[in-house]
Amino acid sequence: MKYTLAFACSQDGFIAKHSKDNPFEWTSKEDQNHLQTLISENEWQVMGRTTHELNPNHNRKRIVFSRQSKEIELIKKDIPDQFYFNPDLHQWSDFEKICSGNVLILGGTSVHDFFIYAELVDTIHITIEPHTFNGGVRAFSYINFKDYKPYFLSRNYSYEEKTLNDNGSILISFNKNS
């Protein structure tokens, strides 16, 4: 089982302009293609309730974090592979029993925080789009945008950077050294 965390952000480090923002309105085609590739490579997705509700998709296998969930339970009775999970109450071994394949972590802030704090993440992909928001939803609550590179390098990740297009979209990736 491998955990991959991926998000797109503005060049000042915000993953959304506000909590109901849809990033598809400002991400590049290249980032959207990259995301589709990641979705096809990972059997399961994990996200917070807000992100799930903004992007409903009945065909994807999802674990949705929510503190409203007292039990690990189906989000909708007629959709077999989408569950609410509350990491404050539920066992991680039960999460890993449900997710038999690779897992793609898709935000938002406190879901990113949880996986980085738990040191579960093998690969991090960050698309930096050529926009400035001057505020909004942060990617992590406790890591500043300008500190990503030193933070992850100091935690035994390697760093790669790739130009995605002529508009200035950049993909940076961190891979955990084994």
Ligand X SMILES: NC(=O)c1ccc[n+]([C@@H]2O[C@H](COP(=O)([O-])OP(=O)(O)OC[C@H]3O[C@@H](n4cnc5c(N)ncnc54)[C@H](OP(=O)(O)O)[C@@H]3O)[C@@H](O)[C@H]2O)c1
With CA atoms as reference, report the closest residue to 63 among 2, 34, 105.
Answer: 105
Q: Which of 12, 43, 87, 123 binds ligand X (CB under 6 A)?
A: 87
Whichever of 86 and 175 has its CB closer to ligand X, that residue is 86
Q: Which of 5, 8, 99, 171 binds ligand X (CB under 6 A)?
A: 8
User: What single string gives the DSSP state of each residue in 21-44?
Assistant: --GGGTS-HHHHHHHHHHHHH-SE
Beta strand 61-65 with 44-48: parallel, antiparallel or unpaired?
A: parallel
Q: Which of 107, 124, 152, 164 binds ligand X (CB under 6 A)?
A: 107
CB 94 within 8 A of CB 83: no
Whichever of 49 and 149 has its CB closer to ligand X, that residue is 49
CA distance 76 to 148: 37
Q: Which of 16, 38, 63, 171 binds ligand X (CB under 6 A)?
A: 16
Which residues of the shown chain bind ligand X in the complex (CB under 6 A)?
7-8, 15-16, 19-23, 47-51, 54, 65-68, 86-88, 106-111, 114, 137
